[in-house]
Amino acid sequence: MFINREHELNHLDEESQKNRPAFIVIYGRRRIGKTTLIEEFGKDKHDFIYYLADQQTTTQQIDSFKQQIYEYTRDDFLIKTQFDNWDQFFSYLSKTLPQDKRLVLAIDEITYLIKSNPAFPSILQKYWDTFFSKTRICLIVCGSLVGMMLRNVLNYDSPLYGRRTSQIHLKPFDFKDASLFLKEFNIEDRVLLYSITGGVAKYLLLIEEPNVREFIRKKIIAKEGFFYHESIFLLSQEFKNPNVYLSILKAVALGHTKLSEISNFVGIEGKKVTRYLDVLQEIGVVVRQVPPTEDPHRFRRGIYRIEDNFLNFWFRFVMPNRSRIEMRDTDNLLDSIMEAMPGYASETFENITMEFLQEMSTEGRLGARFTRWGRWWNKENEIDVVALNQDSGDILFCECKWQNRKIGVDVIKRLMDKTLLVKWFNEARNEHFFVVAKAGFTKNAEEFSKENGVVLFDLNYMERYFEKNSL
């Protein structure tokens, strides 16, 4: 199954068709669909060589790469020759690969090559400068260890810095596209499943169970389930010593979102914790949030959230209960997870609502276009979605309700009261009010909203909108 990635495919096509060499870097977390993207890009191309690296010795890696080159060139001398190192191998390629043909050469999981030989980026840089950059070859390098890709391929200190012609940071699917994997489920279950897996392609493809409860039981809290050890595997691949990172993510998932709270939970002073959090932000696991009305560099009360839905779910429900799972004492655990799911999914619903409103804003359907989005809070109050346009003075306020009963007038009035606490543009601003509710609204709420210019959306409307705008 290949879904969307239209922008990325178009970019690869444009780069590969230019009359110059191309050096494209693709990176993103594991299971996100990078290999599938490369395969989709190359499937109709005759001049395409794809090499998937693995955790072998350098000699074995060269032999595997050599075999892929041979499949394209049918060079008998190549297949018979033993290369002792990468320098010898690339030296031979520089004499045999065509210079005037638009050949695509893709090296997938380049981080394995770097792990086994830290000099690999320097060697690749040498042959890019002396050979590849003088040809029409399109070189693609791809990796899943985001930290290593940033340090060894994209960073200023990397030998490869300045060589790339473009890069693609492949992100998880948003809810609209993730829903295309989940067509057999109703919209409510799609939200719940998305709150567990996020938009990770591999995870979405693994959902075979008929409902959310069975998916959690068989795939997540079963010792043999695919997802049970997944987080440990991901972080162990990314970090040599993941223990502190595991503790920090557990703290954040359990609701300790301020720096001082995280520091107290893990037992490490704040300055040191900040360095760990900076790394987690750099690789896209954690995000620091500030209200959109505030300057992120000056605001001192920022909070941390786990950006990856799956990691958030795993550290919230699986890690604290691993002893029970190991003992196969999961019946009561499953009940408690299902009881907690409405509250847990409410934050995901806020993010989905923001996605929904952002798309409508882009289409010009909200009465204004908004450029900054996020949650707003002070010591005692919070507003689920706030968006603003600094140039026009427009500001959007939205309340999201993930509950089974219809929303009444009281919720709408509370939202309007809380907006008075938001100090931004004050008298000169143009206010826009929205409420999005899973179960809809009472008649009184609908009448009050019409009289006061509040726009209401329910989950069914959101579903129709996403389906209409899906690719």
Q: Chain-wide mean pLDDT for the chain?
A: 95
Looking at the structure, do residues 108 and 209 belong to the same domain, yes or no? no
| pTM (two decimals) | 0.94
For the stretch 82-105, pLDDT in tens is: 999 999 999 999 999 999 999 999
Looking at the structure, do residues 64 and 32 belong to the same domain, yes or no? yes
3-state DSSP helix/strand/coil % of the chain, to nearest 5: 50, 15, 35
**279 token code pair:** 């790394």
Task: Indicate whether 471 pLDDT > 60.
Answer: no
Looking at the structure, do residues 212 and 308 belong to the same domain, yes or no? yes
Q: Which residues of 436-455 are buried (b: 16+ CB within 10 A; e: fewer)?
A: bbbebbeeebbebbeeeebb
Q: In the structure, what pLDDT confidence band is assigned to residue 470 with cuts at 50, 70 and 90?
A: confident
Which of the listed residues 169, 204, 238 is the one where a domain comes to its end?
A: 169
CATH number for 377? 3.40.1350.10
How buried is 463 (Cβ within 10 angstroms: 0-12 exposed, 13-18 middle, 19+ buried)? middle
Task: State the pLDDT at residue 117.
Answer: 95
Residue entry with tokens 């060139």: 73
Task: State the pLDDT at residue 110.
Answer: 97
Looking at the structure, do residues 48 and 119 belong to the same domain, yes or no? yes
φ, ψ of residue 312 to 5 degrees: the values are -60, -45
Looking at the structure, do residues 251 and 361 belong to the same domain, yes or no? no
Alpha-carbon gap, residue 250 to 247, rounded angstroms: 5
Looking at the structure, do residues 315 and 260 belong to the same domain, yes or no? yes
Looking at the structure, do residues 261 and 371 belong to the same domain, yes or no? no
Residue entry with tokens 């010898």: 88
Task: State the pLDDT at residue 1.
Answer: 65
Looking at the structure, do residues 309 and 183 belong to the same domain, yes or no? yes
For the stretch 50-76, pLDDT in tens is: 999 999 999 999 999 999 999 999 999
Looking at the structure, do residues 461 and 341 belong to the same domain, yes or no? no
Looking at the structure, do residues 187 and 325 belong to the same domain, yes or no? yes
The mean pLDDT of 393-400, rounded to a whole number, is 97
For the stretch 248-292, pLDDT in tens is: 999 999 999 999 999 999 999 999 999 999 999 999 999 999 999
Q: In the structure, what pLDDT confidence band is assigned to residue 3 with cuts at 50, 70 and 90?
A: confident
Which of the listed residues 151, 169, 187 is the one where a domain comes to its end?
A: 169
Looking at the structure, do residues 227 and 147 belong to the same domain, yes or no? no
Looking at the structure, do residues 291 and 424 belong to the same domain, yes or no? no
The mean pLDDT of 444-461, rounded to a whole number, is 97
Percentage of the chain modeled with pLDDT above 70: 100
